[in-house]
Copies of this chain bind each other. A is one copy, B any other.
Amino acid sequence: MAGNNLLYAQSGGVTPVINATAAALIEAARGHSDRLGKVFAARDGILGVLEERLIDTSTLTATDLQALAKTPGGTFGSCRYKLKGMDENRREYERLIEVFRAHDIGYFFYNGGNDSADTALKISEMARSHELPLQCIAVPKTIDNDLAVTDNCPGFGSVAKYIAVSIREASLDVMAMASTSTKVFILEVMGRHAGWIAAAGGLAARRAGDPPQIILFPEVPFEEADFLAAVRDSVERHGYCSIVVSEGARWSDGRFLADSGTTDAFGHKQLGGVAPVVADLVKSQTGFKCHWAVSDYLQRSARHLASATDVAHARAVGEAAVEFALAGRSGVMPVIKRLSDAPYSWTIDSAELGDIANREKTVPRDFISPDGFGITEAARAYLEPLIRGEDYPAYGSDGQPLYLTPDFDYLSPRLPAFEV
């Protein structure tokens, strides 16, 4: 007999709104208690499935779910763990089947990016080959916005808003300081292979000459002379220069700027950070005083500045995942389909996991201005709707957001322990 419990898991780097997807999925499932069983959540993604560390979400109240939807991080824990192919790794697949059977799981939801879509696809194929009646649905999230098929990825819009607002704010600061102090400000943003987040920084520049005056994309090889000329030009025209640099910015030979060989006092190679490399270059070649910031996890956990549009997307894919389950679908992902830019309108569509897994969508060249340092109107038309609207968390009387950090109830293990 097919189980009718649901198992939800989070995977890969988390986003400001992945918990909004989780909350919407749990709420949607509760609305169909006639057909669906309990919603369990794996602790730490697929690892928690393998290790049978499963949380019973039934103990979360409706109020908890409202708070969960406004909490950053991945409340159930995530993991970076990619299942190998079935032939190389039969042991782990057999274990997954045992865990699904032991807890009457009929529906598995994996909330992640393209690696997770690959994992979900493999599990879906495995279930079929083992005649396990399991429906396997991937649910999209990634701040990198690099998933194929979907118009955009839940999580990206909020990071985009945070970066657009932050570079505008920091630029107002450097504008005030430039007469006697800092002339160049550099903000490093995430996006190792795709410059979507860097592109979002360009939204802050509404008129020609507005900051950021320079964006460095992974998609455009870094040319030192052109870059330094652009910095000098901006300082001459505007008195200062504001720069957004992607962590994935690279030289024309493919090496990352961040790997330019900084070493500490002991000769150890220094941990990442492209912003200080760019600051060193500017300082040594132009003499301009620089300030630099690396937002790192701040950008992808800044739930305090989430985009309302992004939150709506994140909830919609969670709800659609349950609808897909009820419709008997498997091996699919709910995706966002754009119907029009202006007014922005969208709907939920479905994609086959085989069309999503292991693909990567980078910023198209016609979204980047001819000089390589800015975004085009086409990019703006695509990006701007994604940062619209504010969706604030509630704050307590202590001035801090009321984020949920629950003490979970774990299911009692029904199987022997398993070593991953």
Contacts and interface: CB of A to CB of B under 8 A. Distances in A.
Interface of A: 10, 13-14, 16, 44, 47, 71-81, 161, 164-166, 168-177, 179-181, 185, 187, 203-204, 206, 260-266, 268, 270-271, 273, 275-277, 279-280, 283-284, 290-298, 300-305, 307, 309, 384, 387-390, 392, 395, 397-401, 403, 405
Contacts of A181: 79-80
B273 A265 contact: no
Nearest to A185: B297
Contact of A263 (B16, B263, B275, B297): B263
A301 B169 contact: yes
Contacts of A395: 389-390
Given A185-B297, A271-B276, A296-B292, A77 B397 contact: no
A302 B134 CA distance: 47
A298 B301 CA distance: 15
A249 to B, nearest CB: 16
B268 A280 contact: yes
A302 B16 CA distance: 18
8 contacts: A44-B180, A73-B169, A169-B304, A170-B298, A271-B279, A293-B293, A307-B399, A309-B399
Given A168-B401, A169-B298, A301-B169, A77 B176 contact: yes
B403 A387 contact: no
Nearest to A384: B398
Given A168-B400, A275-B294, 11 more contacts: A73-B171, A78-B179, A169-B401, A170-B296, A170-B301, A172-B301, A172-B405, A273-B276, A307-B399, A384-B398, A389-B395
A181 B81 CA distance: 9
A297 B302 contact: no
Nearest to A14: B176
A284 B266 CA distance: 11
Contacts of A399: 161, 164, 203, 307, 309, 384, 387-390
A94 to B, nearest CB: 21
Contacts of A284: 266, 268
A164 B98 CA distance: 44
A301 B296 CA distance: 17
A13 B302 CA distance: 25
A276 B270 contact: yes
Contact of A177 (B13, B387, B397): B13
Contacts of A305: 304-305
A77 B179 contact: yes
B47 A180 contact: yes
B179 A14 contact: no
A44 B176 CA distance: 7
Contacts of A16: 169
A74 to B, nearest CB: 3
B176 A74 contact: yes
Contacts of A398: 203, 206, 384, 387-388
Most B C-beta atoms less than 10 A away, residue of A72, A185, A400 = A400
B73 A400 contact: no
Nearest to A74: B176
A154 to B, nearest CB: 16
A78 B176 contact: yes
Given A180-B44, A399-B389, A170 B271 contact: no
A296 B293 contact: yes
Contact of A400 (B275, B302, B387, B400): B387
Contacts of A397: 388
Contacts of A75: 172, 176
A168 B270 contact: no
Nearest to A177: B78
Nearest to A242: B297
